[in-house]
Structure 1
Amino acid sequence: MIAVDDSRASTQALRFASRVVPPDAQVRIVCAAEQPGAWNAGGAYTAGDSWMSDALGAACGEYLHAAERTLEQAMSAFNGQAALVEGQVVGLSAEAGAVVPALANAARDWQADLLIVGTRHQGRVKRWVDGSVSGALAVCAPCPLLVVPVEYEEANAHAPLARILLATDGSPASAQVIDAALRLAEPQTALRAVYVVDRSSVAGDPVPGSVLEDAFADLGRKALASAHTQLDVSGRAYETALVATARLRDDIAHAVLRDAQDWQADLVALGTQGRRGVARWLLGSVAQRAIEITHVPLLLIGPGAV
């Protein structure tokens, strides 16, 4: 399932979808028809105010027609990329943030194997007011979520994925991330599993930083050993690596995405739940931060996707 609107981010999502969707797949493209925002916040009127009812009905019709036009254009752009391409207009309630449950429910009702959305980065105040559709879907989507940032530029828009980077913390959620990524990988796709040693988290800790860093590195080696076992079975070419954050002004999400850029990854796979406690790896917070800053498509596996 591919969710679209009339933005460039959706255009990028459609382009990237053509790289990962198998030719024999069934694809449903959905577009949300919003309620007229000017009236969502209120302003009571009586049944006798027929002009208001007429105006509201006309505005709803315009929103519906706009969604249908956007959907038709998206379906035309994706035509020929899959065995079956169909469209659906999803109606929204007037409640704020209604697009997230509407898309999650549509994916659940259709039993989608993958939900693909575009995303555009916004300032923190704007994101706090409007909410982040992709960030919220990462938590509640009933299937793996593929987030394509508007800034992503493909070297070859139709080539299969050449490189997938897997962020792991050794948790069961990380194993599910690897499984999901393997389903998108072609036989020739190279894989790289990384564990980030979070050196920035030990700055204010009473335990000497070197001791904690060594402990985190040991946990990382164990996590990568688990990834080794899982990837060996796949028969695909892969490598693993311990990487580290800087000691100041850095975090795991930035470290993962830096490694992805250096390795020229086509896709980064993350979970939205993971190990807690002494390891200080919480994939959910890492995934949310990654959505905010990524220039590389993200495959996110949430608690509802398994």
Structure 2
Amino acid sequence: MAGVDVDAFVMANRASWDRLEHLVKKRRRLSGAEVDELVELYQRVSTHLSIVRSSSSDAVLVGRLSGLVARARSVVTGAHAPLRQEFIRFWTVSFPVVAYRSWRWWLGSAVGFFVVAIVIAAWIANNPEVQAAIATPEEIDQLVNNDFAAYYSENPAGSFALSVWVNNAWIAVQCIASAILLGIPIPWVLYNNALNLGLSAGLMFGAGKGDVFLGLITPHGLIELTAVFLAAGAGMRLGWSAISPGDRPRGQVLAEQGRAVIAVAVGLVAVLVVAGLVEAFVSPSPLPTVARIAIGVAVEAAFLGYVVYFGARAARAGETGDVADAPDVLPTG
């Protein structure tokens, strides 16, 4: 600062110092924008301190800026949000807002999936020659009158719930992992699962066992398939971001969407646990078919309500669910 009036330097920057001091004192009640401002001012005032130290002998000014920078540093680097707060934020902001913002993608996945499954099921159910090409009459009889229902009760509920969770998680993992390949394999993963569903439905309906099929599939299938569609939608949204990043740098958009996919993957662990429990304990239960289906519909409605309520609220607040935006350095003192 040689050749520069110290008083002029102080006058030019005093507003920044006062503002930083105000934010430090307010550290327990800062908004997200104020946190960003605090970090920016901390960096700027640190530079001012370096200049003053190298160019001025004013011990009072050096002391004031040193103390201010030290207090700001403790706020910026030494006050991470408690684990409980991070946990709550994930389930009330990060996961639901990512699911909410990508609803068009997973709704599109659902529509495409069901169109394929219904077309295949109708084709098989109404064409005995197609059924004959799939299996012998004896094998079909064994499937529709024994094996399909026995699948849900032949193992203890606890171990069955675990095996169901693993299977469902594997399908979701394929969709999530496909995000690395920009979502390109996801339609094929969905098609194969729609084919399997349509095949079973076609054989069951063709044998007049449609009520059995729906009574066993619907309770867990709604939430289970929703989880798969959400995983698929997040993965394909990432792929589309590479093609059409908008007016932002492609790398920035891909990084943001990649972190969103991770949030979906973590959230779906819990969703698929619920799906597995319903499939193990509700689908094969002796409850009337109407009651079992009602439970499945209630679980699905609860999940969709959760996504819409918390996701819409977070979206209105400008949240994206990106971990880079999370207040992992919330000033708490």
**TM-score of the aligned structures, taking structure 1 as reference length:** 0.25
The structure number with the bigger radius of gyration is: 2
Could you say which structure has the greater relative contact order, defined with CA pairs below 8 angstroms and 6 or more residues apart?
2
Bigger helix fraction:
2
Higher strand fraction (1 or 2) = 1
